Structure 1
Amino acid sequence: MPQIERPKTIVTRKLPAQVEARMAELFDAEFNADDTPMSEDALKNAVARADVLVPTLTDDISKDVLASAGPQLRLIANFGVGVDHIDLAAARARDIPVTNTPGVLTEDTADMVMGLIISVPRRLAEGEKFVRAGKWRGWAPTGMLGHRVNGKKLGIVGMGRIGQAIARRASGFGIAIDYHNRHRLPEAVEQTLGATWRENLDDMLADIDILSINCPYTAETHHLLNEKRLGLLGRDVYVINAARGEIINEEALTDALEKGAIAGAGLDVYENEPDIGERLLALENVVLLPHLGSATFEGREAMGDKVIANIRIWADGHRPPDQVLEGWA
């Protein structure tokens, strides 16, 4: 792999000032000053000129976009963990390694999920809106009753870094933990987390009080929580999703919420993000957040540090540490 002293690096969205300043020092960096998401034509122009592309989850790095890449494009250094917006097979075919930023978002995302796990059953967001609307007339014995979380059972779908971090937090609130994962965790990890593996997802769904979606989005997990599986949940169950919106059939979820088939939901991601259906927006038993999972100053700066480290190590002629695909030279 050849060494490149100052690779031409095109960043598709505005990043924290400290991150952009460091990139400007180290690379021949080009930034998106107005932070408008790039069109397909703009992305094609970028890959035609860049040695390194730094995209985010709002960029569709498709096969068509990569077909416009010049021979000089030798790295896609994603600003984020998920890479479902990048056509990995097309990148592999052109021998373009893809990196991401694992690990640095775990605690921030788990904090937010735990906030939703508490907020939705206790109706905290709904109560805050009630006060601001001037509707509150003082304490009442039956006013805005919700459900306690202590003593409930949380089902976690996807027990990677974030799922395990959520389990650690939830256990501190006296919540029992079941989990479904492609592979069972080592027994010692299960004991530390107080978590019980459920090999069959459908069986777990019928036996929990709160469901947290934390698995990656892939072709296999598209609409993993569909109408049939939503029907397995009890009427007092709450659904939390901070992974990817496409993992849940949003129309089926909205139907279930409207009918009272489930108790409520806390969503940080959406199937057609940033568009949210009017039916979902109208529901009071749903907390809707604007994709805040990693939105901390510390987390975003750490993401930038990861991107910079991957570019520098690649530019020095070495395999970047957070390379997503295996088998690169």
Structure 2
Amino acid sequence: MTSKPVVLASYPGSPRGVYEGHVAMIEKHFNIVWWKDFEADRSQFAHSIKGIVCVAGKPSISEELIRSLPNLKVVSNFGVGVDHIDVPMVNRCSVKVGNTPDVLADSVADMAMLLMLAAARKIVQGVEVARSPDSANGFDLHWMGTDVHDATLGIVGMGDIGHKVAKRAKGFNMKILYHNRKQRAAEKEQEVGAVYCGKLSELLKQADYVLIACPLTAETKALISRKEFSLMKSNATILNVARGPIIDQDALVEALQSKTIAGAALDVTYPEPLPLDHPLLKLPNVIITPHHGSQTVKTRQQMMQLVIDNLLAGIHGNPLPAEVKQ
């Protein structure tokens, strides 16, 4: 009987390690070396490790680490975004990188709609009113939300997640605009009734809700800053389910405080979590959730299965089901 391949992982459990329920999934196929054991005696494990499970950016994928593992074949990332991995560097070391696209797109698209609806209808404020002792004699409802139906949604990044959000928004009879590096095929646009904006400024000037759904790259870092906020409608809300640094947070705070825009609903920030004294946490027109757009039981299991599939393929010299190439 052949022994199982060995993979390196950060640690099991909270706060940002491998989900305890997923450890058994990995152990069906691999022997796991946890980071603390690896650090205690690297020489014992370095030659046996053939794959790395990267969860929440851990373990950190440095060139020193990659080159210290002579039989490493694949780094398998739990998530779509790989901005924390220098993919060209890893590839130069003859190691492949895999991620988990597609399987989480529906859950993240659901989260985007949830954020939009919650911001529009002031759900957080409503929960606070319902729980307040001041409501014992009746609710004070002298505050108004805004409509999502018939409004204009601008999607920045019409990849798989953006397209799935557009499908959902179509059910609300929203006008859908999108900005992308490349225009999508006509049939994809027609499927959701989306209109391409070649310039980001065209989208920002028209949208009631602006959704950030593009990957974080050198080109998209601080893509939305003071100039972009100045172009948006005063009643517009910005939503982010991608990566925090795509929005210049200092500029966002200014735009919210000055009422240049109406609100923000963010599943991602930088850093994560924000310091408790950060001004975004104190503003009444902001909703912040803890980067849990894909956090459903089914989706996270599917993501881990794809992590495993990428590991198995890479270790055995086969094409990865979801390889990242840059």
Q: Does the CA-based 8 Å contact 1:48-1:68 persist in structure 2?
A: no
Q: Does the CA-based 8 Å contact 1:47-1:68 persist in structure 2?
A: no
Give the secondary-structure state (helix, strand or coil) at the position aligned to 1:78.
Answer: strand
**Deviations 1:102-140, CA, capped at 9 Å, x for gaps:** 111000000011001111011001211232343435666
Query: What count of residue pairs does the alignment treat as equivalent?
Result: 319
Written as runs of structure 1 = structure 2, the 5 A alignment for 1:62-211 is 62-66=61-65, 69-136=68-135, 143-211=142-210
The structural deviation recorded for 1:162 is 0.3
Question: Residue 24 of structure 2 corresponds to which residue in structure 1?
Answer: 21
Q: Structure 1's 171 and 141: CA in aligned 2 closer, same or farther, altered over 3 A?
A: farther
In structure 2, distance between residues paired with 1:17 and 1:86? 24
Q: Structure 1's 43 and 214: CA in aligned 2 closer, same or farther, altered over 3 A?
A: farther
What is the aligned-residue RMSD (CA, Å)?
2.7
Question: Residue 291 of structure 2 corresponds to which residue in structure 1?
Answer: 291
Q: Does the CA-based 8 Å contact 2:98-2:310 persist in structure 1?
A: yes
Q: Structure 1's 17 and 272: CA in aligned 2 closer, same or farther, altered over 3 A?
A: closer
The structural deviation recorded for 1:308 is 1.0
Q: Structure 1's 47 and 93: CA in aligned 2 closer, same or farther, altered over 3 A?
A: farther
In structure 1, distance between residues paired with 2:42 and 2:200? 39
Give the secondary-structure state (helix, strand or coil) at the position aligned to 1:240.
Answer: strand
In structure 2, distance between residues paired with 1:111 and 1:194? 19
- 1:229 maps to a residue whose letter is E
Give the TM-score normalised by the residue count of structure 1. Answer: 0.89
Give the secondary-structure state (helix, strand or coil) at the position aligned to 1:118.
Answer: helix
Q: Structure 1's 255 and 137: CA in aligned 2 closer, same or farther, altered over 3 A?
A: farther
**Deviations 1:60-107, CA, capped at 9 Å, x for gaps:** 735454465321222101111111011112212211110001111000
Q: Does the CA-based 8 Å contact 1:52-1:74 persist in structure 2?
A: yes
- 2:33 is aligned with 1:30: yes
Deviates more, 1:289-298 or 1:308-317: 308-317
**Deviations 1:8-52, CA, capped at 9 Å, x for gaps:** 11222533445321321211123579xxxx9x9999998786321
In structure 1, distance between residues paired with 2:288 and 2:76? 30
In structure 1, distance between residues paired with 2:306 and 2:41? 25
Matched residues, percent identical?
Answer: 34
In structure 2, distance between residues paired with 1:252 and 1:41? 44
Give the secondary-structure state (helix, strand or coil) at the position aligned to 1:51.
Answer: strand
The structural deviation recorded for 1:321 is 1.7
In structure 2, distance between residues paired with 1:68 and 1:49? 13
In structure 2, distance between residues paired with 1:45 and 1:63? 20
In structure 2, distance between residues paired with 1:44 and 1:230? 52
The structural deviation recorded for 1:294 is 0.6
In structure 2, distance between residues paired with 1:213 and 1:163? 8
- 1:238 maps to a residue whose letter is T
In structure 1, distance between residues paired with 2:76 and 2:45? 13
Q: Does the CA-based 8 Å contact 1:80-1:100 persist in structure 2?
A: yes
Q: Does the CA-based 8 Å contact 2:67-2:93 persist in structure 1?
A: no
The structural deviation recorded for 1:151 is 1.3
Gaps of 5+ in 1: none
The structural deviation recorded for 1:161 is 0.5
In structure 1, distance between residues paired with 2:248 and 2:167? 28
Q: Structure 1's 41 and 185: CA in aligned 2 closer, same or farther, altered over 3 A?
A: farther
Question: Residue 249 of structure 1 corresponds to which residue in structure 2?
Answer: 248
Question: Residue 15 of structure 2 corresponds to which residue in structure 1?
Answer: none
Question: Residue 5 of structure 2 corresponds to which residue in structure 1?
Answer: 7
Q: Structure 1's 46 and 99: CA in aligned 2 closer, same or farther, altered over 3 A?
A: farther
Deviates more, 1:65-74 or 1:110-119: 65-74
Q: Does the CA-based 8 Å contact 1:98-1:323 persist in structure 2?
A: yes
Q: Structure 1's 309 and 239: CA in aligned 2 closer, same or farther, altered over 3 A?
A: same
- 2:272 maps to a residue whose letter is E
Q: Structure 1's 57 and 44: CA in aligned 2 closer, same or farther, altered over 3 A?
A: farther
Q: Structure 1's 72 and 152: CA in aligned 2 closer, same or farther, altered over 3 A?
A: same
Give the secondary-structure state (helix, strand or coil) at the position aligned to 1:84.
Answer: coil
- 2:233 is aligned with 1:230: no
Give the TM-score normalised by the residue count of structure 2. Answer: 0.89
Q: Does the CA-based 8 Å contact 2:53-2:78 persist in structure 1?
A: yes
In structure 2, distance between residues paired with 1:45 and 1:149? 58
- 1:30 maps to a residue whose letter is V
Give the secondary-structure state (helix, strand or coil) at the position aligned to 2:264.
Answer: strand
